[in-house]
Chain A
């Protein structure tokens, strides 16, 4: 296999094309996944902002029932894993899941430790840093974002919160990644099929071209040389050979014809030489 012309032509081409295609697909997949993940974070962040803006009036009016209803309704939406609001002490005050209410949040948990790793908690984080990805107890992949609820002038002027308090609480919203994972799985399958198709096309195309333009003409030339060696009358070179092979075939024909023309003279001269001696 390695010694044949086909092997020598196809192995490096196949290896290089397949390898490069695989690397391209892996890098492209990585780019697409990062883009989708970034888009998902932006989407979750916008949703968190929407929830905060919709609950703002209820918070100002201290309308806990309306606030709880909004949180429950948002949490009941398809694709939303959890929605909860916890106060500065880390106690869940509102949640779509009523079991969580009044529970203490672990400050060392993933998503909390980012702000609470120092003695004083960090109050400003970028959107990307506010996000975390984990698997919920049901085994589903979840992307969650925590949005701080800041103390604003109308909050502190209502005599509910002192003006010195910067963060009043945190909204934690988690979105299911099932749809994203399904899309990524589909993309992986499509890329594998695409790579295989490109590989088959490349190998097939190179093989077909080599066979048509190189291997078959070489085979015809070889048959011509082998058959002419056995025959006394030299046949004409095969027609329609590629230019390079045609030169070889014609050259072979000319050499063989010249040799056949000179052969009797040589034999005579050898006979004469033998007679003389």
Chain B
């Protein structure tokens, strides 16, 4: 009887060790994922800067605006594009600040690069890129700057919490209490 209970206890201890190990590995995997995710904002900002350099050279690899407008029709006026840019910038900043407040993990950075590239292209085809270049640049740096900061702080907090959880698991061998 005693032998059986000792056997059961050692099995429980082994099981608990295995559980702690797997939990530790899971937390380490989560830390690595957050580490990779934390540079997403900076990568998106770098990609946007590459697009800005191409726009500065007036998209020399693209066909002339006249050819494209002959095919697709007249583009919207620069004023309409600027109003759309202003509304987009406002919405994107509000959305990013809301996500920051709610602590939501959202992978939106690269979609912003796509939207901003579209603004550059619209201005290019409307032949008003030179006059409005700095507006799109400023909008992109602001939106992607706020997004990078949001992602970076989200990941930094997540990594700190996971490290604390690993310490808890190391100390107690039990999963950390749910918040």
Contacts and interface: CB of A to CB of B under 8 A. Distances in A.
User: Are A and B subunits of one complex?
Assistant: yes
Interface string A1-42: 010000010011001101110111011001101100000000
B149 A30 contact: no
Contact of B138 (A2, A11, A23, A31): A23
B139 interface: yes
Interface string A99-120: 0000000000000000000000
Given A26-B138, A33-B131, A12 B82 contact: no
Interface stretch (B6-14, B21-29, B68-76, B140-148): B140-148
Contacts, number: 61
User: In the complex, which of the residues A16, A19, A23 has the most CB atoms of chain B within 10 Å of its own CB atom?
Assistant: A23
Contact of B79 (A12, A24, A26, A34): A34
A211 B135 CA distance: 34
A19 B79 contact: no
A268 to B, nearest CB: 31
B89 A15 contact: no
A8 B143 CA distance: 17
A252 B139 CA distance: 47
A23 B97 contact: no
Contact of B78 (A16, A20, A30): A30
Contacts of B142: 15-16, 18-20, 22-23
**How many A residues are at the interface, by size bracket?**
10 to 19
Nearest to B131: A30
B115 interface: no
B121 interface: no
B148 to A, nearest CB: 10
B97 A30 contact: no
A34 B78 contact: yes
A13 B167 CA distance: 34
Given A12-B150, A27-B85, A34-B78, A20 B135 contact: no
B131 A23 contact: no
B53 interface: no
Given A12-B100, A15-B142, A34-B78, A23 B149 contact: no
A113 B149 CA distance: 51
A22 B131 CA distance: 15
14 contacts: A12-B146, A16-B93, A16-B96, A16-B142, A18-B142, A19-B89, A19-B138, A19-B146, A20-B90, A23-B86, A27-B85, A30-B135, A34-B78, A34-B79
Interface of A: 2, 8, 11-12, 15-16, 18-20, 22-24, 26-27, 30-31, 33-34
Interface of B: 78-79, 82, 85-86, 89-90, 93, 96-97, 100, 131-132, 134-135, 138-139, 141-143, 145-146, 149-150, 153
- Top 3 A-B residue pairs of the complex, sorted by shortest distance between their CB atoms: A19-B142, A26-B135, A22-B138
